[in-house]
Amino acid sequence: MIAQQIINAVSLGGVYALLALGLAIVFSIVGLINFAHGELMTLTGYALLAALIAGVPFPAAVLLAVICAAIAAVAMERIAFRPMRGASVTSLLLTSFAVSGLLKVIFQNGVSARPQAVAIPGWMTGAFSFGDFTIGVGPTISIAVSILALIALEFFLRRTVTGTAMRAAAEDFDVVRLMGIPANRIIATAFLLSGLLAGLAAMLWVASRASVDPLMGFTPVLKAFIAAVVGGLGSLPGAVAGGFLLGVIEVLLQAMLPAALAPYRDAIVLSGVIAVLLIRPQGLIPAVRVQRS
Amino acid sequence: MSRLSCRRRPTFPLRDAMLNVESLRIRYGEVEAVRHVDLTVGTGEIVALVGANGAGKSSTLGAVAGLVPAAGGKVLLEGKDITNMPAEAIARRGVALVPEGRRIFASLTVADNLRLGGAVHQTASDAKAREEEMLELFPILRRYHQVRGGNLSGGEQQMLAIARALMARPKLILLDEPSLGLAPQIIDTVFDLIAQLRRNGLTVLLVEQNVALALEIADRATVLANGEVALTGTAAELASSDLVRQAYLGA
């Protein structure tokens, strides 16, 4: 029972961490909180649904859906955010709300306002026994995917020139441009990565719910935003730490709160968030940003 | 708007100019930071741009490097118009700016800072060869290769900033206040290095508040005041001019 709860907690935390990382990567480079991030998740869900209906085998459909998310993220930057480059934070924020609203309406009118069932293979909803423990296959896959994605991202950011340039751009974008590295390439890569992460998170989210609906992305991305703020906005290790922390706290509260207090779960979580921010206003692991004269 | 300065036409041949700045104007909103600047840097020269705080020196460098938009005028690199090109395109044409305050990537290692400086190289072996040259030139950077830039001292950071700019093998290097905040011996080291780079064929445009130091190393110099050229000439001419002596050399 406890093992199962821990697995669930880490698995939910992993999804939040992937989403928070996507938000943090884009924020660290362009100073934008992309509230249309949730719609990337939703889009991935519908892409999976469409691919499965078209008869694409499940693994290929997942791959296709994640690629769709990455392309959609890059397109979003190219169409909506690039013309707003250099605009104020408020303008960027409003743009992201506009993109989010537009996509939601397209999903509602183009597909359906009601949830659509997604056929998840039976083996993913099963469980396996491990001594005395019974562990769900879904959460285990979820944890594995999150960890692999984190390792791959870390490798990309540490070992490649583009990844190094992204870490540098988070600190001082202008100087990266002075090195002859195109700003557009850095920004497009940031959105590409955030799209990939949103796509993976969407797959894990859909796998545990077996349905897609137009508002699917809202709640997880709101949670991821909270996680990113708690971790330290724009800090990638902070986003991961915040994501796991939030997931673990949510699941543990759900498991341990007496029934009478259960409706207050979100209130308790958010009070915790406020407490953290009162003690550490910059977040758990603050972002490095050089003070410019 | 009065133009009361005694702007002089350049008195040297322009044929081999690395950089020509013509009638440059820069404004930040309502504020006109640069009103009218003409400047020429010949190939292989060290030209110093001096003047008080807010005279428009850093803005001029910023416009040459493409970080600050020019509101008017032209910037020519080897005769080709680069006015208002994106900074990354200008960097790829062989202009490197070492910004004021060094602005090294503090959370990145020395090695990664250098790696980004060499990002324009076509092949990994080109970049590697250039890095090896830089580590020869700056032994301190070899010692601290895996140390984060933020943990270096001010002088070491300045070395790193210069080495990072040189990684791309630029034709023209723009140095913005390289002596700022450094101890006197370190300043000497940095300026010896600048002289050595010029001997190796690099063209240097130097912004410096320490006017005596700048005139010692430069071939020619231009004095900016209130966004305009107040005076231009050879370093020796300026060092003996009354304006410079009274205003900047404290003599």
Within 10 angstroms of residue B150's Cβ, the number of other Cβ atoms is: 14
B9 band by pLDDT with thresholds 50, 70 and 90: very low
pLDDT on residue A288 = 72
ipTM of the complex, rounded to two decimals: 0.89
Residue whose pair of structure tokens reads 């306002």 in the numeric block: A113
Report d(CA B203, CA B161) in Å as an integer. 17
Assess B119–A contact: CB distance below 8 Å, yes or no: yes
Side chain identity at residue B245, one-letter code: R
pLDDT of A290 > 50? The answer is no
Compute the average pLDDT of residues A89-108. Answer: 94
pLDDT on residue A198 = 97
Q: A175, A237, A233: which is closest to B112 by C-alpha? A: A175
Between B196 and B244, the higher pLDDT residue: B196
Task: Tell me the CA distances in angstroms from B227 to A252, A259, A268, B124, one per residue in order.
Answer: 64, 72, 58, 43
Report d(CA A19, CA B83) in Å as an integer. 41
Q: How far apart are the first and last CA of chain B?
A: 31
The CATH number assigned to the domain with range B17-102+171-247 reads 3.40.50.300
Q: How many residues does chain A have?
A: 293
The gap from C-alpha A21 to its chain's centroid, in whole angstroms, comes to: 6
pLDDT of B6 > 60? The answer is no
B251 band by pLDDT with thresholds 50, 70 and 90: low
Assess B130–A contact: CB distance below 8 Å, yes or no: no
pLDDT of B2 > 60? The answer is no
Q: A68, A16, A50, A36: which is closest to A201 by C-alpha? A: A16
Assess B106–A contact: CB distance below 8 Å, yes or no: yes
Between B83 and A273, the higher pLDDT residue: B83
- Average pLDDT score, chain B: 90
Task: Tell me the CA distances in angstroms from A192 to A25, A73, A216, A224, A235, one per residue in order.
Answer: 10, 6, 21, 18, 18
A254 band by pLDDT with thresholds 50, 70 and 90: confident
Between A276 and A72, the higher pLDDT residue: A72
Q: Which residues of B8-34 are buried (b: 16+ CB within 10 A; e: fewer)?
A: eebeeeeeebbbbbbebbbbeeeebbb
Q: What is residue B91's three-state secondary structure?
A: helix
Compute the average pLDDT of residues B89-103. Answer: 96
Task: Tell me the CA distances in angstroms from B144 to A157, B113, B128, B129, one per residue in order.
Answer: 21, 12, 17, 18
Assess B102–A contact: CB distance below 8 Å, yes or no: no
pLDDT of B249 > 80? The answer is no
B201 band by pLDDT with thresholds 50, 70 and 90: very high
Q: Could you tell me how many CB contacts below 8 A there are between chain A and chain B? A: 76
pLDDT on residue A291 = 41
Which residues in chain B have their CB less than 8 angstroms from residue A177's CB?
Answer: 66-67, 86-88, 91
Residues 56-95 of B with CB under 8 A from A: 65-67, 86-88, 91-92
Compute the average pLDDT of residues A86-93. Answer: 89
Which residues in chain B have their CB less than 8 angstroms from residue A179's CB?
Answer: 88, 91, 116-117, 119-120, 164, 168
pLDDT of B5 > 50? The answer is no
Which pLDDT tens digit goes with each residue over A72-84? 999 999 999 999 9
Chain B nearest-CA residue for A291: B103
A134 band by pLDDT with thresholds 50, 70 and 90: confident
Lowest mean pLDDT among A66-80, A243-257, B63-77, B88-102: A243-257
Compute the average pLDDT of residues B235-239. Answer: 91
Report d(CA B78, CA B81) in Å as an integer. 9
Within 10 angstroms of residue A106's Cβ, the number of other Cβ atoms is: 15
CB B18 within 8 A of CB B171: yes
> Checking DSSP bridges between strand B46-51 and strand B220-225, what pairing results, if any?
parallel
Which pLDDT tens digit goes with each residue over A180-238? 999 999 999 999 999 999 999 999 999 988 999 999 999 999 999 999 999 998 899 99
Please, which residues bridge with residue B154 across strands? none
| Cβ-defined contact of A168 to B112 (cutoff 8 Å) | yes
B115 band by pLDDT with thresholds 50, 70 and 90: very high
Report d(CA A16, CA A22) in Å as an integer. 10
CB B82 within 8 A of CB B91: no
Assess B111–A contact: CB distance below 8 Å, yes or no: no
The gap from C-alpha A33 to its chain's centroid, in whole angstroms, comes to: 12
pLDDT on residue A245 = 93
pLDDT on residue B209 = 86
**Angle (CA) A41 A46 A48, round 5°:** 95
Q: Nearest CB to B91: which of A164, A179, A293?
A: A179
Lowest mean pLDDT among B91-100, B151-160, B233-242: B233-242
Assess B180–A contact: CB distance below 8 Å, yes or no: no
pLDDT of A293 > 60? The answer is no
Compute the average pLDDT of residues A87-109. Answer: 94
Assess A291–B contact: CB distance below 8 Å, yes or no: no
Q: A30, A10, A24: which is closest to A238 by C-alpha? A: A24
